[in-house]
């Protein structure tokens, strides 16, 4: 690890916003990404692996990519619970094909790179136990890999410098009215990680929206940078904008990838990891008592913040607000490098 760089492991379910976060961290001068662990979530873990391999290929770096858990800790055990979440999740088709918020493939070549043989969870335990200095971790998918690692080896909580998490909503959800996708996709994993004793900085829906809600003008500014990564990210966000509008904007009916000029979309994972590169991107951070509902009802996976001020010790720092200009300029400066 160079004297100015901090070692970082990224755990992600690489879909669209994960890709932006991964590229930002790979390109940051003060971060040394030593491994990328893939997890189920937006896509299958196999799809996430291929997308992660293609991202390290895009920037020409030899960062090892690992395959992790293909489903959640309780997957398949409670059909009614899954049904409860699905009935609250918005699903639409276009020309008879389901529209998924994340594309199965980023459409980039992997350059012959292949996934490591070691399982992601084993890699996390081994690497954190062997580390002489704390390693930071950015977790921007369901927390299944992280929870499994912390269950296998609770001692690694103290070997993580900061665990940056994209997850939860302070007042709102996205996958369900109160549940955010990463926490809903594995509520038990999120609950375990929040109680692990690791040093947590959580980027919830609202904090991310403050720092990383992108408009068409933002996309055009990124594309104007002209580098390979900037052109890729610009096109990626454009396609994401169409899918978000098609799935979530009542009455939206523009044909695929025709973007409504007035649209906007949040690149959640980028916002959640930006403070790992530049802490000043987060402007309002509060230490709170934070839990996750695992009861399997309508609020399954909801992040529950206890503000009653009773005996419970705060267990997480939550980002309530971000410096939008700083957050967006940081991404542009990184994409300008390659």
Contacts of ligand RIB in 31-70 (CB under 6 A): 41-42
Tell me the residue ranges of DSSP E strands in 13-134: 31-38, 65-67, 93-94, 97-98
Member of 269, 293, 300, 323 binding ligand RIB (CB under 6 A): 269
Distance CA 21, CA 274 (A): 8
Assess 18 for contact with ligand RIB (CB under 6 A). Answer: yes
Q: Is residue 8 within 8 Å of residue 135, measured between CB atoms?
A: yes
Residue 180 corresponds to which tokens in the numbers above?
């955010």
Q: What angle do CA 194, 198, 203 make, to 5 degrees?
A: 60
Distance CA 96, CA 80 (A): 27
Residues with active-site annotation? 13
Site string for ligand RIB, 203-242 (x = CB under 6 A): ----------------------------------------
Interacting partner of 180 out of Ca ion, ligand RIB, none (Cβ under 5 to 8 A depending on kind): ligand RIB
Shortest approach of ligand RIB to residue 2 CB, angstroms?
29
Q: Is residue 143 within 8 Å of residue 67, measured between CB atoms?
A: no
Q: Is residue 183 within 8 Å of residue 302, measured between CB atoms?
A: yes
Shortest approach of Ca ion to residue 103 CB, angstroms?
13
> Count residues contacting ligand RIB (CB under 6 A)?
15
Shortest approach of Ca ion to residue 182 CB, angstroms?
6
Member of 68, 141, 204, 234 binding ligand RIB (CB under 6 A): 141
Distance CA 185, CA 298 (A): 14
- The span of 11-19, 78-86, 112-120, 254-262 binding ligand RIB (CB under 6 A) equals 11-19
Q: Which is nearer to Ca ion, 159 or 186 (CB)?
A: 186
Member of 45, 67, 181, 322 binding ligand RIB (CB under 6 A): 181
Shortest approach of Ca ion to residue 268 CB, angstroms?
7
- Phi-psi category of 178—alpha, beta or left, where left has phi over 0 and alpha has psi -120 to 50? alpha
Distance CA 316, CA 164 (A): 10
Residues that bind ligand RIB (CB under 6 A): 13, 15, 17-18, 41-42, 140-141, 166, 174, 180-182, 268-269
């Amino acid at each position: 690890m160079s004297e100015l760089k901090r070692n970082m492991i990224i755990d992600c379910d690489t879909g669209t916003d994960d890709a932006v976060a991964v590229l930002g961290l790979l390109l940051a001068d003060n971060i040394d990404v030593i491994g990328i662990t893939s997890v189920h979530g937006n896509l299958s873990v196999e799809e996430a692996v291929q997308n992660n391999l293609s991202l390290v290929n895009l920037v020409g770096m030899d960062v090892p990519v690992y395959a992790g858990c293909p489903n959640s800790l309780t997957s398949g055990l409670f059909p009614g619970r899954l049904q409860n979440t699905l009935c609250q999740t918005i699903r639409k088709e276009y020309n008879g094909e389901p529209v998924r918020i994340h594309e199965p493939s980023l459409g980039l070549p992997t350059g012959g790179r292949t996934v490591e043989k070691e399982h992601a969870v084993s890699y996390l335990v081994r690497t954190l136990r062997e580390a002489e200095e704390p390693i930071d971790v950015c977790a921007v998918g369901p927390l299944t890999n992280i929870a499994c690692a912390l269950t296998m080896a609770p001692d690694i909580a103290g070997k993580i410098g900061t665990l940056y998490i994209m997850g939860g909503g302070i007042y709102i959800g996205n996958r369900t009215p109160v549940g955010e996708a990463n926490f809903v996709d594995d509520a038990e994993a999120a609950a375990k990680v929040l109680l692990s004793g690791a040093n947590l900085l959580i980027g919830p829906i609202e904090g991310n929206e403050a720092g990383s809600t992108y408009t068409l003008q933002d996309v055009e500014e990124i594309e104007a940078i002209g580098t390979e990564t900037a052109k890729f990210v610009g096109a990626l966000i454009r396609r994401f904008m169409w899918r978000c509008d098609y799935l979530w904007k009542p009455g939206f009916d523009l044909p695929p990838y025709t973007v409504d000029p007035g649209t906007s979309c949040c690149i959640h994972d980028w916002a959640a990891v930006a403070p790992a590169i530049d802490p000043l991107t987060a402007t309002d951070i509060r230490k709170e008592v934070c839990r996750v509902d695992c009861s399997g009802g309508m609020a399954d996976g909801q992040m529950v913040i206890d503000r009653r001020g009773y005996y419970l010790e705060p267990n997480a720092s939550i980002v309530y607000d971000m410096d939008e200009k700083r957050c967006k300029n940081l991404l542009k400066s990184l994409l300008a490098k390659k």
